[in-house]
A and B are shown apart, each in its own frame.
Chain A
Amino acid sequence: QVQLQESGPGLVKSSETLSLTCTVSGGSISGFYWNWIRQPPGKGLEWVGSIYYRGSTHFNPSLKSRVTISLDTPKSQFSLRLNSVTAADTAVYYCARVGDILTAWPFAIDYWGQGIMVSVSS
C-alpha cells in the first residue's frame, strides 16, 4: 500500500520560504508525477506543481515564479519550496501521486498524504 507523509514547519514568517518534504513508502517513484496541492482554510483545492520521476518540473502559472520542487529518488522523497510567502499562502498542503499517461489512472490523483497545515505569520 502506497503511503505519502508530509513533514515540515507548521508556521512560517511572512516574506520567508516555506519548505515541505513528502516521504513516499510502499511503492516506486518510477512512472509517476509527484505533486503538491494546497487548500486554504474553508476554500478549494489548488494544484501547486509537480515533478516527474525523470526530473522535469511543472508548475501552476500563478505560482511558478516562487516555487521549486525537487526529487530525492534514493530517499523516496520530494520537496516543495515556496518563497516570499504571504498570508495568502496559509493552507493545508497535500503531497499526492499522479500517474502518467501509461498508468492505470492517467493524470488522476490516486494517493494523497494526510496534509499538513502551514500558517504564515506577519
Chain B
Amino acid sequence: QSALTQPASVSGSPGQSITISCTGTRSDVGSYNLVSWYQQHPAKAPQVMIYEGSKRPSGVSNRFSGSKSGNTASLTISGLQAEDEADYYCCSYAGNSTLVFGGGTKLTVL
C-alpha cells in the first residue's frame, strides 16, 4: 500500500481555477469510485470537501468539484478565494476495508 501521488504545491490568483491531481493504482483509485478530498487549514482537523469521487457534502461550495479518470482522481476549485488557501489531501478506499492518503498539496492563493 503506497501513498497516492499528489503535487506538493499549486497556486492560483483569486478568481482563477486550479486542479489538484491524485494518482493511485488499479488497487485503489482505479478500482473504486471511493475517493474523498479533504481541506486542512493550519492547526485544524481536516474536513471533507468531496466524497465518492464527485459528491459534495451539504455546506461545501459548488466551486469544489471532483472527477476521476483511470487511476487518477482530480479536485478542481473554481473562482479561487483567499479562504481556499490550505492543504488538500485525497484519500482512496484500497480494498479490505483499508484507506490510503495522498501526500498532500499546498494551495497558495496569490
A positions within 8 Å CB-CB of B: 33, 35, 37, 43-47, 50, 52, 56, 58-62, 94, 98, 105-110, 112-115
With contacts A60-B1, A114-B45, A115-B45 known, is A109 near B38, CB below 8 A?
yes
Within 8 A of A (CB), among B82-102: 87, 89, 91, 93, 96-102
29 sampled A-B residue pairs with Cβ under 8 A:
A43-B104, A44-B3, A44-B87, A44-B102, A44-B104, A45-B38, A45-B40, A45-B91, A45-B104, A46-B101, A47-B91, A47-B98, A50-B97, A52-B97, A56-B97, A59-B98, A60-B98, A61-B1, A94-B45, A105-B51, A105-B57, A106-B34, A106-B52, A107-B32, A107-B93, A108-B52, A109-B48, A109-B91, A113-B45
Q: When the two chains form the complex, which single residue of B47, B48, B57, B101 contacts A45, counting CB atoms closer than 8 Å?
A: B101
Write out the residue numbers on chain A whose beta carbons fall within 8 Å of the beta carbon of B104. Answer: 43-45
Rounded to whole angstroms, the CA-CA distance of A106 and B48 in the bound complex is 12
With contacts A105-B57, A108-B36, A109-B38 known, is A45 near B98, CB below 8 A?
no
Question: A-B pairs with CB below 8 Å: how many?
Answer: 72
Contact A44 B103 (CB under 8 A): yes
B positions within 8 Å CB-CB of A: 1, 3, 32, 34, 36, 38, 40, 45-48, 51-52, 55, 57, 87, 89, 91, 93, 96-104
Rounded to whole angstroms, the CA-CA distance of A80 and B41 in the bound complex is 25
Write out the residue numbers on chain A whose beta carbons fall within 8 Å of the beta carbon of B93. Answer: 106-107
With contacts A44-B89, A112-B46, A112-B47 known, is A107 near B99, CB below 8 A?
yes
With contacts A52-B97, A58-B96, A112-B47 known, is A105 near B52, CB below 8 A?
yes
B40 to chain A, nearest CB (A): 8
Write out the residue numbers on chain A whose beta carbons fall within 8 Å of the beta carbon of B91. Answer: 45, 47, 108-109
Contact B46 A107 (CB under 8 A): no
